[in-house]
């Protein structure tokens, strides 16, 4: 095989190699190893820029036959200038290059790299400057150092158009964990650009490089996070068993298993001659064992998801910052970002600054997932630059118009920050969490690991300024005690993580007067002899630790409660547009589709799972009273923006009075939105009535259609309604008009006999003012007529199935396909991952406000029907063959064979199958009276884990659906709170009366005062505890009523406990990928975990 070229990194020259003799010895060693290429930078070492080049010049390295590359110096002379500003202008490039040539004692270098972007200079100006120096024969090759792909492509285009010297070398980060550079390789190969891999060794394992420059920030945000470090820990365990060092594994992977080719290069780092020799010896050992390579590939797959978000921050968001030469701006996160620390993952914070500086970039977060990352909610604000040691952090925020996370009318956005939009749950439900967060933020630092009970030290020593304790009013001289930990690194939860998002104080952050009063050194001005003895330092510290633990437990409880969903972001955005006066019918329709699609994907107030839904109507499936309130607001908006036809006769003809669902538009130009008494059938307008009922996720589990008796029950229901099988097997639009007119009334009459009370909206909900439970329908002239649920079903299928998993009738010509897909159209194994982006854009086009939208939706109908036929087939097979097992904490089923196994490798499709099966199990348990009770809470059904085999990738996709627990009736809960309040007041009154009676009898019971007092205290404690429990039962979030999905937390706990090879990549944390051989052990460990709570 052909190896990439080996280059020596000159980073150690001037740092560990400080003299010309030491440098010469290394050069002699390089000659023996046949390495004649050295990578340099004008700014090395950072403590003394240029010294590295000067030492190479002293030993005349180029005269000895070495090729030397260097980078342009990007140090700005003005500290107030944005980072990199003006450093790549023509004069700056010439000045830096001339200095480098002078220090190296040569007339030209081999490769001259442009290093770090300069937003103040155009790419054309930079290319022209390089052309000018190239014309003077001052370098052989033009290189770019780790520029974003869009900038690289722009350079190639500009240089080609203007006939300038083109980039022929690209240097970037590339190692066995961080492989995002591989996405660039096709472009580099196409344009003849060699790739030079740097940062290949194991220093990224500890992410110790946390300097404030671009490289340091990237290292911190990319490697120093919970998910990455957990994956690296698994890898370390693997190579430890094989007795391979980390650096050896890195080197052998980059030379034998990476995608580097002949002509590419590997930049080898070594701080001394012996270390260099050891590296060469490790490389000579050959390829890694196949098992180790497999572990590495799985690790990289496991770390991708949020890595994509991090990459977007690096390539798109950070260049917007004023500190990086941008002009600021707004970044909108839709359905992502609420669960993670965006300041960290987007690398917006500078770890060396005393305050956060977002660089004028404002991040708007719309995310329905809960729990929030509290750092985004309460701490995602750029700090003020000037030191304010005497003012607490919240006071500084109040000066910006933010009070404890809540934006006031005085808010200004010039400095940037993270703004989350919610439905009021933060203000109403997170009072305790907010107080705990800010208390911890302002709390002095204290070392909890010290042994407080130790009696070795004297009390006097503890009360003096001993070095054994830290000062609590600031870090003082203990900055170095943190070692390599970044000073700004916050411990925040990655949604399901067991690590609490505990806020930490910035360097020298001031505290308020109440915190200052905790100072160890007591006041000595005019001490009074009668003054009580001040508490010792030890007791003060104990109080502080207990207080900190109490606040920590509040945040820990919040993060460990499991996941849930709040108001859909589509309705939030519509509310925002309405407030701004920019609402219209198109935006209203998109909001309605978003709200209607929630139930389809199982997103409930208890996380992903089935919901103990109201049986009152067709659309009352999400959010209980709050969800129905949102839908009612949308109905009112439909009436406002789509006024009804005043001609009553026309309404009667169209059947709206009789409750017939509309199937056609009023006119060729009709694009209005209408209300419709939608039954809980599937795609009824576009299927036969029989197929629509058979595949209904609501009806099928309740009739047990997976059994022969269940099918007979469906036939009996149709017979009682007076609908023949011939009629119901026709397309609904072709059915007899009279049958369609009486369908709703007959369903209302006969459906309750089969336990289908909520199949259609009730008769009383048909009033024009309310129409509770009614759905939404929109027509596009004669083109199409679709309900909001129809659109949700179709778009979901487009995202979850894609063109590779379709019937022959599916027309995939409209779906854009990448070149790789076209070339590999026969390789089905990679179809799922390769087609994700085309699927997204196809679904995006289907929702776009163009005339093509309804056409794309109708063409995708066979795809949706195919998916739901597969769900019925597979669900029927699992239930009828009794392939669903009951473990300790949940039921488990595995899809590993059958005609549709490939289909359910997609997490979305697998989740819908899991919801179908879970609903069927819930109905069975309800009929048998086997209600599930977990703790003091009653679940809607047993939690279910469903695994789908992906044979091509040799793994299982696993989804965990919660047991539900219903929805919270907030009105009823408020009423109960009022009742409990009255009871509490009555109890307090009785306690007061008892206390008075006890006081009168105190003299008579003097001998028993101590015993009685203890009893009274116990009694009061018990009453207080009882009251506390009573209050807890009415938790604002309804925790006592909900069993939330905790699979995300349980999955992470199992990964930390076992050696199972697992990838937790999805933004939906209840979805994981488990290596095929590890599934058994993974499920066994999971069975001992709490999966709902």
Question: How far apart (Å, rounded) are the C-alpha atoms in residues 592 and 599?
Answer: 13
611 with 641, same domain: the answer is: yes
Q: Are residues 655 and 688 in the same domain?
A: no
Cα separation, 269 vs 13, whole angstroms: 11
Q: Which residues, listed in sequence order, are joined to residue 37 by a DSSP beta bridge? A: 67
pLDDT at 1013: 44
| Cα–Cα distance for residue pair 1068/1048, rounded to 1 Å | 8
193 in a structural domain: yes
What pLDDT, on the 0 to 100 scale, is given for residue 70? 96
Domain assignment present for 442:
yes
Q: What is the Cβ-side half-sphere exposure of residue 551, based on CA atoms within 13 angstroms?
A: 20
- For residue 975, being part of any structural domain is answered with no
Q: Are residues 949 and 805 in the same domain?
A: no
Separation in Å, CA 875 to CA 320, 717, 891, 899, 957: 49, 22, 14, 13, 17
| C-alpha to C-alpha distance for 843 and 313, rounded to whole angstroms | 24
Question: Are 502 and 627 members of one domain?
Answer: no
User: Concatenated DSSP letters for 607-635?
Assistant: EEB-----SS-TTTTSSHHHHHHHHHHHH
Q: At what angle do helices 290-302 and 246-256 cross, to 10 degrees?
A: 90
Q: Is 1029 within the bounds of a domain? A: no
Angle between helices 431-442 and 537-559 (to 10 degrees): 140
Which tokens is 563 given? 């996941």
In a domain, residue 27? The reply is yes
Sequence-separated (6 or more) residues with CB below 8 Å from residue 483: none
* Pair (548, 425) in one structural domain: yes
Taking the C-alpha atoms of residue 979 and residue 859, their distance in angstroms, rounded to an integer, is 56
Helix (H, G, I), strand (E, B) or coil at 11: helix
What is the 3 state secondary structure string of 526-571? CCCCCCCCCCCHHHHHHHHHHHHHHHHHHHHHHHCCCEEECCCHHH
* Alpha helix stretches (DSSP H) within 813-891: 819-823, 831-834, 836-847, 853-859, 861-880
857 and 912 co-located in one domain: no
Q: Report CA-CA distances (Å) from 445 to 124, 127, 345, 405, 437.
A: 51, 51, 25, 22, 14
Whole-structure pTM value: 0.64
Note whether residue 439 is domain-resident: yes
Instruction: In whole angstroms, give the CA distance from residue 978 to residue 972.
Output: 10
Cα–chain-centroid distance for residue 700? 34
Last residue of a domain, one of 864, 879, 894: 879
Say which residues have a Cβ less than 8 Å from residue 993's Cβ, sequence separation at least 6: none
How far is it, in rounded angstroms, from Cα 792 to Cα 599?
Answer: 10
Strand partners, 109: 139
Residues 81 and 96 in one domain: yes
Q: How many domains does the chain have?
A: 6
> Do 633 and 753 share a domain, yes or no?
no
Predicted local distance difference test score (pLDDT) of residue 466:
36
- Give Cβ neighbours of residue 990 (< 8 Å, ≥ 6 apart): none
Alpha carbons 999 and 533: distance in angstroms, whole number: 32
- The rounded distance, in Å, linking the Cα atoms of 44 and 691 is 71
Domain boundary among 839, 856, 879: 879
Residue 18 lies in a domain: yes
Under 8 Å between Cβ of 638 and 588: yes
Q: Is residue 251 in some structural domain?
A: no
**Orientation of helix 226-241 relative to helix 246-256, angle to 10°:** 90
Residues 277 and 343 in one domain: no
**Phi, then psi, of 605 in degrees rounded to 5:** -70, -5
pLDDT at 998: 77
- Measure the CA angle with vertex 928, ends 927 and 932; round to 5°: 100
- Same domain, yes or no, for 195 and 325? no
Can you give the pLDDT at residue 937? Answer: 53
**E strands within 341-432?**
361-366, 369-370, 402-403, 406-407, 417-421
pLDDT beneath 50, residues of the chain? 77-84, 204-222, 224-226, 350-355, 383-392, 451-501, 505-528, 614-621, 648-649, 652-653, 804-832, 965-971, 1009-1040
User: Residue 960: beta bridge partners?
Assistant: 945
Domain membership of residue 937 as a residue range:
883-967+1043-1086
Asked if 534 contacts 429 with a C-beta cutoff of 8 angstroms, the reply is no
- Residue-level pLDDT at 448: 58
Report the Cα 956 to chain-centroid distance in Å.
Answer: 21
Residues 505, 428 share a domain: yes
Q: What confidence score (pLDDT) does residue 1080 get?
A: 87
CB burial readout 1021-1032, b (16+ within 10 A) else e: eeeeeeeeeeee
The answer, yes or no, to whether the previous bond of 6 is cis (omega within 30 of 0) is no
Given 839, 854, 879, the domain boundary residue is: 879
The Cα–Cα gap between 966 and 604 comes to: 9
Peptide bond into 45 cis (omega under 30): yes
Together in a domain, 693 and 650: no
Pairing of strands 194-198, 944-950: unpaired
Q: Are 383 and 343 in contact (CB under 8 A)?
A: no
């Amino acid at each position: 095989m052909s190896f990439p070229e080996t280059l020596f990194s000159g980073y150690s020259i001037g740092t560990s190699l400080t003299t010309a003799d030491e440098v010469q010895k290394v050069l002699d060693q390089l000659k023996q190893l046949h390495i004649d290429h050295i990578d340099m930078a004008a700014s090395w070492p950072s403590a003394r820029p240029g010294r590295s080049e000067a030492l190479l010049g002293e030993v005349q390295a180029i005269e000895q036959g070495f090729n030397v590359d260097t980078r342009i110096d990007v140090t700005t002379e003005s500290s107030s200038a944005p980072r990199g500003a003006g450093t790549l202008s023509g004069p700056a490039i010439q000045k830096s290059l001339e200095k480098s040539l002078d220090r190296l004692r040569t007339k030209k270098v081999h490769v001259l790299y442009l290093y770090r972007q300069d937003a103040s200079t155009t790419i054309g100006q930079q290319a022209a400057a390089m052309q000018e120096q190239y014309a003077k024969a001052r370098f052989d090759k033009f290189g770019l150092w780790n520029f974003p792909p869009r900038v690289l492509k722009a350079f190639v285009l500009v240089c080609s158009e203007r006939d300038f010297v083109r980039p022929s070398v690209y240097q970037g980060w590339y190692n066995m964990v961080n492989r995002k550079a591989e996405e660039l390789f096709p472009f580099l190969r196409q344009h003849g650009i060699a790739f030079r891999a740097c940062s290949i060794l194991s220093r990224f394992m500890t992410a110790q490089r946390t300097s404030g420059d671009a490289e340091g920030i990237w290292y911190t945000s990319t490697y120093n996070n919970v998910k990455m470090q957990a994956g690296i820990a698994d890898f370390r365990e693997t190579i430890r068993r094989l007795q391979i060092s980390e650096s050896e594994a890195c080197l052998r992977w980059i030379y034998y298993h990476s995608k580097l080719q002949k002509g590419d290069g590997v930049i080898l780092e070594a701080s001394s001659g012996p270390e260099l020799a050891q590296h060469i010896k490790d490389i000579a050992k050959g390829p890694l064992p196949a098992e180790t390579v497999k572990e590495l590939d799985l690790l990289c797959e496991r770390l991708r998801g949020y890595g994509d978000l991090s990459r977007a921050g690096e390539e798109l968001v950070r260049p917007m910052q004023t500190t990086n030469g941008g002009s600021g701006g707004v970044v909108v996160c839709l359905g992502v970002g609420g669960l993670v620390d965006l300041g960290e993952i987007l690398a917006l914070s500078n770890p060396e600054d005393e305050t956060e500086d977002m660089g004028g970039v404002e991040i708007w977060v719309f995310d329905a997932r809960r729990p929030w990352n509290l750092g985004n909610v309460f701490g995602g604000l750029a700090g003020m630059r000037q030191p304010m040691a005497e003012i607490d952090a919240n006071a500084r925020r109040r000066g910006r118009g933010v009070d404890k996370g809540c934006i006031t009318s005085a808010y200004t956005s010039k400095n940037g920050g993270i703004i989350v939009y919610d439905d009021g749950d933060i203000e109403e439900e997170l009072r305790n969490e907010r107080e705990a967060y800010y208390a911890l933020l302002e709390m002095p630092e204290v070392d909890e690991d010290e042994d407080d009970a130790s009696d070795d030290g004297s009390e006097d020593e503890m009360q003096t300024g001993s070095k054994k304790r830290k000062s609590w009013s600031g870090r003082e001289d203990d900055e170095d005690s943190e070692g390599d930990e970044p000073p700004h690194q916050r411990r925040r939860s990655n949604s399901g993580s067991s690590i609490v998002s505990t806020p930490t104080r910035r360097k020298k952050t001031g505290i308020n007067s109440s915190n200052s009063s905790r100072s160890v050194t007591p006041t000595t001005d005019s001490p009074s002899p009668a003054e009580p003895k001040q508490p010792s330092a030890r007791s003060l510290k104990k109080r502080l630790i207990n207080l900190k633990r109490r606040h920590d437990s509040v945040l820990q409880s919040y993060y460990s409660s499991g996941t849930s969903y709040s108001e859909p972001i589509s309705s939030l955005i519509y509310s925002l547009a309405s407030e701004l006066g920019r609402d219209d019918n198109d935006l209203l329709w998109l909001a309605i589709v978003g709200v209607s699609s929630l139930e389809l994907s199982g997103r409930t107030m208890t996380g992903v799972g089935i919901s103990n839904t109201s049986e009152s109507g067709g659309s009352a499936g999400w959010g209980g009273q709050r969800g129905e309130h949102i839908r009612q607001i949308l109905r009112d908006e439909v009436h406002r923006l789509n006024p009804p036809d005043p001609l009553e006769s026309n309404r009667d003809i169209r059947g709206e009075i009789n409750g017939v669902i509309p199937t056609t538009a009023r006119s060729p130009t009709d694009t209005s939105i209408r209300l419709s008494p939608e039954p809980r059938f599937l795609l009824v307008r576009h299927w036969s009535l029989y197929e629509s009922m058979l595949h209904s996720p609501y009806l099928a589990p309740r009739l047990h259609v997976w059994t022969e008796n269940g099918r007979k029950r469906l036939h009996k229901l149709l017979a009682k309604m007076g609908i023949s099988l011939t009629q119901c097997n026709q397309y609904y639009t072709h059915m007899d008009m009279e049958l369609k007119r009486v369908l709703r009334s007959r369903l209302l009459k006969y459906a309750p006999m089969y336990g289908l009370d909520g199949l259609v909206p009730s008769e009383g909900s048909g009033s024009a003012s309310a129409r509770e439970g009614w759905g939404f329908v929109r027509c596009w002239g004669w083109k199409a007529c679709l309900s909001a649920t129809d659109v949700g079903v179709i778009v979901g299928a487009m995202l979850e199935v894609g063109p590779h998993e379709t019937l022959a009738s599916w027309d995939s010509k409209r779906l854009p396909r990448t070149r790789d897909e076209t070339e590999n159209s026969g390789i089905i194994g990679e179809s799922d991952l390769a087609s994700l982006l085309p699927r997204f854009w196809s679904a995006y086009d289907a929702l776009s406000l163009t005339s093509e939208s309804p056409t794309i939706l109708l063409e995708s109908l066979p795809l949706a029907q195919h998916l739901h036929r597969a769900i019925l087939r597979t669900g029927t097979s699992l239930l009828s063959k009794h392939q669903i097992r009951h473990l300790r904490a949940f039921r488990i089923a595995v899809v590993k064979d059958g005609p549709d196994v490939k289909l359910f490798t997609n997490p979305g499709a697998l989740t819908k199958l899991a919801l179908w099966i879970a609903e069927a199990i819930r109905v069975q348990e309800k009929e048998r009276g086997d209600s599930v009770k977990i703790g003091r809470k009653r679940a809607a059904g047993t939690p279910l884990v469903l695994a789908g085999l992906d044979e091509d990738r040799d793994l299982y996709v696993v989804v965990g659906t919660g047991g539900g627990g219903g929805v919270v009736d907030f009105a009823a809960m408020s009423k109960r709170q009022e009742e409990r309040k009255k009871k509490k007041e009555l109890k307090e009154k009785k306690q007061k009366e008892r206390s008075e009676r006890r006081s009168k009898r105190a003299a008579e019971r003097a001998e028993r005062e101590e015993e009685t007092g203890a009893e009274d205290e116990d009694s009061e404690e018990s009453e207080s505890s009882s009251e506390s429990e009573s209050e807890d039962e009415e938790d604002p979030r309804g925790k006592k009523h909900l069993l939330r999905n905790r699979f995300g937390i349980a999955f992470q706990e199992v990964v930390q406990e076992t050696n199972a090879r697992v990838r937790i990549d999805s933004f939906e944390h209840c979805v994981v990928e488990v290596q095929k051989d590890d599934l058994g052990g993974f499920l066994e460990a999971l069975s001992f975990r709490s999966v709902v709570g």
